[in-house]
């Protein structure tokens, strides 16, 4: 079969933005770029799509090769195609974001590429247009989290109300009234209270909870009630 004539060929890459939560801080996983240009500068995980790969397959492979992570929540959300975004060649990048519980995966992080976690408010300057990618990913997550329980991908299966509130505050970069949050989350019936407590932070401790996923599907927009109004 003949190729398309009079068409310029370009490279297609995948960049993966890995967000994690350790129970205290929302973080992002970065690597030192191993090649020129911008070698040894902080970068998102990225790589080129192989000739026999689809986009999702390439994203999963790149994530595994660069970090050792697999079987994580991974979602495609945007493409970047500015002709000058890379100084070497014309490259279109398809961007994914992943959400993980850091404590669940911290032993799997690949050290070959100097992968390192940064608190989301302390992220260093990134190469090319990667800063724009992170900002767009955060906006997408805020939108998604208002309708879907995706932030629970960042939590262990059992978590405390303070952990959940802290996560929402960091994602939306806004304080949430403690009493209001507890009242709304309790009244929603979306969480299943466990019998034991986490006593790592205080002698009194805080009860563990689980998300009732079946009930959440029936109350699709319940999480809008927990979002700070100033961010909507």
Q: Tell whether 6 is covered by a domain.
A: no
Tokens matching residue 13 = 């890459």
Same domain, 68 and 134: yes
Q: Which residues of the chain have pLDDT under 50?
A: 232
Q: Tell whether 167 is covered by a domain.
A: yes
Q: Tell whether 201 is covered by a domain.
A: yes
Residue 232 is predicted with a pLDDT of 47
The domain tally of the chain equals 2
Same domain, 20 and 128: yes
Same domain, 158 and 59: no
Same domain, 20 and 96: yes
Same domain, 131 and 82: yes
Residue 180 is predicted with a pLDDT of 86
Same domain, 126 and 204: no
Domain boundary among 109, 124, 145: 145
Residue 29 is predicted with a pLDDT of 93
Q: Tell whether 4 is covered by a domain.
A: no
Q: Tell whether 32 is covered by a domain.
A: yes
Q: Tell whether 30 is covered by a domain.
A: yes
Residue 218 is predicted with a pLDDT of 57
Domain CATH number, residue 125? 3.90.79.10
Same domain, 113 and 29: yes
Same domain, 133 and 198: no
Same domain, 139 and 55: yes
Residue 8 is predicted with a pLDDT of 86
Q: Tell whether 113 is covered by a domain.
A: yes
Same domain, 134 and 208: no
Domain coverage including residue 188: 152-231
Residue 181 is predicted with a pLDDT of 86
Taking the model in full, what pTM does it have?
0.88
């Amino acid at each position: 079969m003949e190729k398309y004539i009079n068409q310029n060929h370009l490279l297609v890459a995948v960049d993966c933005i890995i967000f994690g939560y350790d129970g205290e801080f929302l973080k992002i996983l970065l690597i030192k770029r191993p090649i020129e240009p911008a070698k040894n500068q902080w970068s998102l995980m990225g790589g080129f799509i192989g000739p026999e790969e689809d986009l999702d397959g390439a994203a999963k492979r790149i994530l595994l090769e660069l970090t050792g992570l697999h079987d994580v929540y991974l979602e495609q959300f945007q493409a970047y195609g500015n002709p000058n975004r890379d100084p070497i060649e014309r490259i279109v990048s398809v961007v994914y974001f992943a959400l993980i519980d850091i404590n669940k995966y911290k032993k799997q992080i690949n050290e070959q590429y100097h992968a390192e976690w940064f608190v989301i408010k302390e992220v260093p300057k990134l190469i090319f247009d990667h800063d724009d990618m992170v900002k767009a990913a955060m906006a997408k997550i805020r939108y998604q989290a208002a309708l879907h329980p995706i932030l629970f991908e960042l939590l262990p299966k059992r978590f405390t109300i303070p952990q959940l509130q802290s996560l929402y505050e960091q994602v939306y970069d806004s304080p949430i009234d403690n009493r209001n949050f507890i009242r709304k989350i309790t009244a929603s019936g979306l969480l299943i209270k466990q019998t034991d407590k986490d006593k790592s932070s205080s002698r009194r401790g805080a009860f563990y909870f689980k998300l009732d996923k079946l009930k959440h599907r029936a109350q699709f927009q319940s999480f809008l009630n927990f979002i700070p109004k100033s961010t909507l």
